[in-house]
Amino acid sequence: MDISPINFVSSVVADFVSSVFADFVIFAAQNFLSSVMSVYVKKNSSIPGPCSEDGKRPFPFPSFHHLSIFLSSTFKQPLLKDLEQVKLKLDVPKLMKDASLKMLDELVDSTFQFINQPTLPSQRNFLPVKEIGEETVVTSIDGDIPADFPEGTYIRNGPNPLFGALQSTVSPLGKSSNIWVEGDGMLHAIYFSKNNINDTFIISYKNRYVESETFKIEKEKSRPCFLPAVEGDSLAILTAYILNQLRFGKVNKYISNTNVFEHSGRCFSIAENHIPQEIDLLSLDTLSNWDVNGEWNRPFTAHPKKAPGSGELIITGADAVKPFLVLGVISADGKRLAHKVDVELERSILCHDMGVTERYNIIMDMPLTINIPRLLQGGPLIKYEKESYARIGVMPRYGDAEAIKWFQVQPYCIFHLINCYEDGDEVVVRGCRAEESIIPGPEHGLDELDNYVRDEGFLFSRLYEWRLNIKNAGIKERYLTGKEFSVDFPMINENFIGLRNKFAYCQVIDSIASSECALPKFGSLVKFTFGEETGRISGCQELIKVEHHELGENQFCTGSVFVPRPGGSEEDDGWIIFHVHNEETNISQVHIIDSKRFESKSVSKITLPQRVPYGFHATFIKISLIA
């Protein structure tokens, strides 16, 4: 399951920091250190550890003593007195750059201890891999690549921590940790090209990190630098935001690990805490940030949608400070922002996906909220407020906040929409819905996922449909599948985005493997056929036709994509391509199955030259699309 979520917090307290802390950066940091040392010593006087020079009082970490020497030698009393008198006239950014950065680095190094998070044996394929180097030709192929399979690149994104593991920090302020969706983005590309001599396929593989601005900072320093700031103790998280902002001008890393998409012949990597990074599809080099010629200056959804007919790219940007959600329309050529509007939400939501139809933009306002005041009061940054309201907004393509028709629906938690389309006076919205929060909060934790896919479990996700009547404001909502299996990472033939579609495909969660691993593993695929109601099956409301493609024992998939057959006339005429890892052999492959013979064996299995960790979303970019 993609929670990438977590990725929304890139500018979470930038305004807060600049308005409240700018004038006091030097003094606040020093006073903060003194207070931390004092409180820690009082509460932990019995904890053995390195002692001060008189041998009586232990320091929380060995480097505290060195930091105190550094402070006393760098900021002498006369200098501090002068700074006190002129602090309101200081050029704070220049002062931070010239004088305080070293102190802040010392503060972080002395107060926060980075620790590699442990992993279970069952989590082995969540661990990172290294860049393979040059593009490698793949020769181990079981079966044949279909002769009419298109030339192009199948490219998948996913987390791959640069320093070998996710990080936690411990300090007198508590503990904060990365969660499993926060690893640095790595792209895995499979290239399909035809041999001009005999018209057979040449397959090659390459992987590269997405080298965002923050990735380059840590790569250059050869160590973790950004303090984790999503899960953990409230004070530790808040302090991480502040110190990250003061040191790097960013409250969190730009991980760019969630999705990869094409627009106007260009390839982009994205996670929704920042704007996309453009990628050279052949070399996988990171070229630059894409801010639509300077017109988009806020987070960018991980799931932009191309509007049917026009080819415009519809995007949203969610933030933890006002404006909470902004919608944009990018021209089909990618050169300008044709429309930008504040949706005027009343709360900050974890908004991972959005939808489009021929005339409308679809906005999912669910009660999975991001709340800084709640964090300041000791609560969680992210919380599913199941007693709160839930809405779906239907907005004309170029409308404003006043033009949105809001439909109050039953509370839901959803990260991935399947598709949206217009059916007479109704707008149909389908997605993978859970009853509770998809992101476990402090009351659950990642080591308590035994109910990962149990009935009504907080991570159990099923196919759901809303029918929203634009004319009379009527609402119909229902589950389309029962409680026999949990699904996510839906995909369709992208030629039908925003249009009525008959088929959809999802990855199915393996409940036993996921419970043992405490992380999601997908052990099979399903194909849904809409419009073919089957009635009740095994006592469950299984209202649509379902076909299964099983992978086999201890094999799990990620990055599934539908590839249309060139010249095909039917919606399901094509293939599903996806990564598969065999945990017994530790071998990673790419499988291709015929969508029309969904339950049959894969037509081709491509064995890759190295292990590929489990990841998130992928796309297939035809050679003809690249400029």
Q: Which residues are annotated as a binding site?
A: 303, 352, 416, 617
What is the amino acid identity at position 441? G
277-to-185, 208, 271 alpha-carbon distances in Å? 11, 13, 9
List residues forming the annotated binding site for Fe cation. 303, 352, 416, 617
What is the amino acid identity at position 557? C
Neighbours of 164 (CB within 10 A): 11
**CA nearest 511: which of 560, 561, 461?**
461
Contact between residue 271 and residue 244 where contact means Cβ atoms under 8 Å apart: no
Q: Is 264 exposed, middle or buried (0-12, 13-18, 19+ CB in 10 A)?
A: middle
- How far from the centroid of its chain's Cα atoms is residue 44's Cα? 38
Give 66's contacts (C-beta < 8 A, 6+ positions apart).
Answer: 106, 110
3-state SS class at 589 = strand
Q: What is the DSSP-derived secondary structure letter of residue 184?
A: P
Find the angle CA(230)-CA(170)-CA(27) to the nearest 5 degrees. 85
Contact between residue 321 and residue 348 where contact means Cβ atoms under 8 Å apart: yes
3-state SS class at 576 = strand
- How far from the centroid of its chain's Cα atoms is residue 288's Cα? 19
Give 609's contacts (C-beta < 8 A, 6+ positions apart).
Answer: 132, 136, 138, 205
Task: Spell out the SS3 assignment of 186-200.
Answer: EEEEEEEEECCCCCC
Q: Which two tokens stand for residue 399?
A: 């409308």
- What does residue 179 show for φ and ψ, rounded to 5 degrees? -105, 170
Largest CA distance in the chain: 83
Contact between residue 496 and residue 422 where contact means Cβ atoms under 8 Å apart: no
